[in-house]
Structure 1
Amino acid sequence: MLTRQRKELLLNLLKQDGQIVAKALSEQLGLSEDTIRRDLRELAREGLLQRVHGGALPLPPSPAMGNFSQRQQIAGEAKPAIGQAAAAMVEPGQVVFIDGGTTAVQLARALPAELRATVVTHSPSVALELVEHAHIEVILIGGRLFKHSIVAMGPAALEAIAQIRTDIYFMGVCSLDPQAGITTGDYDEAGVKRAISQAARRTVVLASPEKLHTASPYQIAPLSSVGAIVVHAGVDEALLAPYRAMGIEVVVAGGNHLKA
C-alpha cells in the first residue's frame, strides 16, 4: 500500500471510529506499528489529526464550522475591528472580491462612504450591505446557494469567477494553521475559494481569533499564496510569529490602533 493510500485510510478510519490505536491497527492491516506511527506523525504535522500516546484523535473542530447565525455570536468585538482594518486596505478605483461570512459583512459595512471602487462578491449578505453605497459598483456572482456560508457555489459561480481579475481578494476562512494552511469544512467551498484566490493579484485572509491554530478537513491553499492576514489586537503574539517568519504581512487591528 502506497503512503498516500495509507494516509487516506487512516483519516477515513479516524472519521469513522473517532480514534486510532496504532498497535491494534497495525495488527488489523498487517503493517508494522512503526509505519502506522510515522504516518500519524506526518498527518499531525499537516494539521489533519491530533497525535496522542499510542495513536491519534480527531482535531478539535473550529468554532467557525457552526452555521451563520451561530458564527455571528463569536468574537463579537474582533470582527468589526478586523473589518475596519481590511476596509482601510482598499484603494480608490480597485476591483476587490469580498468573500462570504460574518467578518466579510463587517468589512462591507466599514467601506468609506466616499470610496469609489468595484466590489465583486458571491455573498448576498455582502451585496445587501452595499445597496446604499452610492459610489461602489457591486457585481454579484450567482449559483447554488451554500446555506452554511450564504454564498453562491457550483459551476455557474466558478465560470463567472474565472472571467474577473481582482486587485484584492478578502478571504474568509474556517481555519488557519502554519502547517495545515488555509482550510475549510466543505470540499466544494474550498475549490471556489481557491479559484477566487487564483484570479486575484493579492489574497488577504480575515482571521478572527477562533480561527487561528485550527484545521478543517479541506485545504483551500498553502500559506505561500497569502499576501496578508488581518487579526485582532487581542491575539497572542506567539500565534502570529510563525506567519511573520514565513514573510506574510500580519495586520493587527483593534481599538484605535492598527499596525503591521
Structure 2
Amino acid sequence: MLQVERMSMIVAELNAKGRVTVNELADQLNVSKVTIRRDLDALSRENKLVIVHGGGIKPNFTLYEAPYSHRNSIYIQEKQRVGMKAVELIQDYDVIALGVGTTTIQIANHLFNKKNLTIITGCIQVLNSLIERKKSGYFTGKLIFLGGEIDTDQMFASGSMTIELLEKFHIDKAFIGANGYSIADGITTYDIDEGNVLKKMLQRSNKVHVVIDHSKINVKSMYRYAEYNDVDYVICNEDSPQEWKDKLAQEGVGWVIA
C-alpha cells in the first residue's frame, strides 16, 4: 500500500473517531509502527492532525467535547480496565466521590462486594448505574446526587448549587476524569462548569485519583482545573511517559497501571 493510500485511510479514521493511535493503525494497515509514525508526521506537516502521545488527534479535537454517547463508545476495554483497577482501591465504609466521565462510569459498573459505601456524584450516568445496581442488590450503600443545572449532552450537574453542596462533605477518596493530563499543562477539561465542580471535589477529598485512558496522556483541553501534582494517583491503562517518571516520583504522584 502506498503512503498516500495509508494517509487517506488514516484521515478517514480520524474524521470518524477524532483520534488515532499508532498501535491500532499498525494492526489495521499491517505495517510497522515506524511507518505509521512517519505517516502521522506527514499528516501533521499538512495540518491534518496534531501529534500526541501514542498517536494523533484532529486539529480541533481538544476544543470541543463530543457528546457523552459518542465518548462512551471509544476505548471501552481500556476504560473498563481502569474502572476495575480503581475499584480495587475502594474499601468498605469509604465515602467516595465520582466525577463525570466515561471512565468513572466504569467504576460504578464494577462496584461489587463493597459494604457500607457512600457514593457522591453529579454524573447522571453514574447515578443511573448505581440505582440499577441498588435495585438488583449489587450495591447496598448510600447514594447522594449533587443537584444543579443539568448538561444534557454531557450528562452532569454543575453550578453554584452543586459546589455549595460539595462543600458540606468530607470525602475519603475522589475518582475524577479528565480530558487531558500532562506535567506541562496540568489536568484539563473542555467545560468550565465541569472543571469547577471537579476542582471542589478534589479540595474536599483526602485522596484524589485521576482515572484516564491512554488517549488523555500529554493532551490539553480548554480549562485547567488542577495541577498535575494536585492528585495522589493517576490510574491509566498505560504507563506514564518515561520522561515524566522522575518528576512524578519527586512530587509523590503514584501512577497505577490497569
Task: Give the TM-score, by structure 1 length.
Answer: 0.70
Instruction: Name the CA distance, whole Å, in 1 between partners of 2:254 and 2:129.
Output: 28
Alignment partner of 1:238 is 2:242: yes
SS in 1 for 2:73: coil
SS in 2 for 1:229: strand
What's the offset of the Cα at 1:110? Answer: 0.8
Q: Are residues 1:144 and 2:149 paired?
A: yes
Structure 1 Cα separation of the partners of residues 235 and 64 of structure 2: 16
Deviation at 1:236, TM superposition (A): 6.3
Aligned partners of 1:130, 1:63: CA distance in 2, in Å?
31
Larger radius of gyration: 1
> Match of 1:248?
253
SS in 2 for 1:167: strand
- Post-superposition shift, 1:65? 2.6
CA contact (8 A) 2:62 2:222 kept: no
CA distance in 2, matches of 1:64, 1:82: 24
Flag the 1:183–1:74 CA change in 2: closer, same or farther, 3 A.
same
Residue matched to 1:163? 168
Match of 2:207 among 202, 211, 215: 202
Report the Cα distance in structure 1 between the residues aligned to 2:201 and 2:59, rounded to whole angstroms.
Answer: 27
Residue of structure 1 in register with 2:89 after alignment: 89
Note the C-alpha offset of 1:207.
1.1
Are 1:184 and 2:189 counterparts?
yes
Aligned CA-pair RMSD: 2.2
Alignment of 1:39-118 (within 5 A): 61-62=61-62, 65-118=65-118
How many matched pairs? 196
Contact 1:161 1:196 in 2 (8 A): yes
Question: Which whole-Å CA distance do the structure 2 matches of 1:189 and 1:232 have between them?
Answer: 24
In 2, Cα distance between the equivalents of 1:214 and 1:151?
Answer: 22
Q: Equivalents in 1 of 2:216, 2:191: separation in Å?
A: 15
CA pair 114-187 structure 1, distance change in 2 beyond 3 A? closer
Listed as ranges, the gaps of 5+ residues in structure 2 are 1-49, 51-57
Normalising to structure 2: TM-score of the pair?
0.70
- How far is 1:107 from its partner? 0.5
What CA distance in whole angstroms lies between the structure 1 residues aligned with 2:221 and 2:177? 13
- Partners of 1:87 and 1:150 lie apart in 2 by 22
Q: Say if 1:92 and 1:115, in contact at 8 Å, map to a contact too.
A: yes
1:121 aligned partner: 121
Residue 153 in structure 1 maps to residue 158 in structure 2? yes
Contact 2:182/2:220 (<8 A) preserved: yes
Are 1:229 and 2:248 an aligned pair? no
Q: How does 1:21-32 map to 2 (within 5 A)?
A: none
Asked if the contact 1:88/1:111 (under 8 Å) is kept, the reply is no
Contact kept? 1:62, 1:215, Cα under 8 Å: yes
